[in-house]
Structure 1
Amino acid sequence: MTLRPLASDDQGEFLDLVSASEDLHRPWMSLPSTPQQFEAYVARYEKPDEESWLVCVRSTGVIAGMVNINSIIRGRLQSGALAYAAFAPTAGQGYMTEGLDLVVRYAFEQLRLHRLEAQIQPDNHASIRLIRRVGFRHEGDSPEFLFIDGAWRDHERWAITNTMIDIRPTAPHPTLPER
């Protein structure tokens, strides 16, 4: 697997994959499904506190999924919130495990974050299995946490820190206070 940043040129393939994956994603998440929504989505991830990565099959370049690092907060927190989705044509082949692992390592080694969180609806068993495989721990529950598919949905909170996995040592991010 390889990662590449989401770009405007991905619109056609991305929208086709979202359409093909509608049954897989509902009611767990909603991705952009029109050219206008896609343009706004790309613009969001051009901001410095947001990142969007496409998980691609190395041999073909086909997009297998996506992982976003949202709401990156610096200073004492050094944290980001993950959102991710597999696409139906390649779902269930292990691509997202490898892709999510690559994004976690990138977040800790390159962005120098300390913590990543994922909020998952309790009945989304595939997502919970994925996040566990990558090494996240369950930290609690958040009733009516996110508005998804027309309603406020309960979520489980999952997190991982850079001390929980074997990564190469990096200097703290310059925004981390000394004390």
Structure 2
Amino acid sequence: MTALPFTIRQPTTAAFASGAPLRVRRPADGMYARLVAGDRVWIREPYRLKRKFNSLSPTAASGYDARPYFEQDLGPGDVEALELGDMRHARCLLRDWHRWHAIVDEVKLQPLQEITLEEARGEGFTRVEGWAARWDADITSFTSIHDPRQWANNPQVIVLNLIPKLEPLPEEKALSAELKAQELA
């Protein structure tokens, strides 16, 4: 059973935290192309560490027993009151630090522009145009402004239905035991 990292950002983090099923899109040529129904993903989300760990990589900070403070949970004034450092990108969250996972319920291919207003709202956006702008910003952040996977090109994308689990991914040994028990039942 696959357990890939899955990055979410605001406002989708808040939508995920509600526990309601979530439909998300990712490029069809990425690592999520191999997911199938029943697979699990562990959720990476934006976070901060104590200011004293700002100069350290997440792995090095973990060696000093650093722990993440998730952006989703921080209120006004918390960054200063808790002496937190800079916001760190979701993609930098260590697997040992994740707090949520999801089960893939369905996987399908679809043209990007078939997203509905209801689906965009399900990810925390108020308009499809806002969702599309975020898509383009995310796609071009690692490539170039000429990336063919942009909204205007209406590429095929993977549409994933996720069932949020507001707990860390079960340990692999526990997961294997759970699967064996299901097979015997």
Q: TM-score, normalised by structure 2?
A: 0.23
Report 1 or 2 for greater relative contact order, CA contacts < 8 Å, sequence distance ≥ 6. 2
Q: Which has the higher helix share?
A: 2
The higher radius of gyration belongs to: 2
Q: Which has the higher strand share?
A: 1
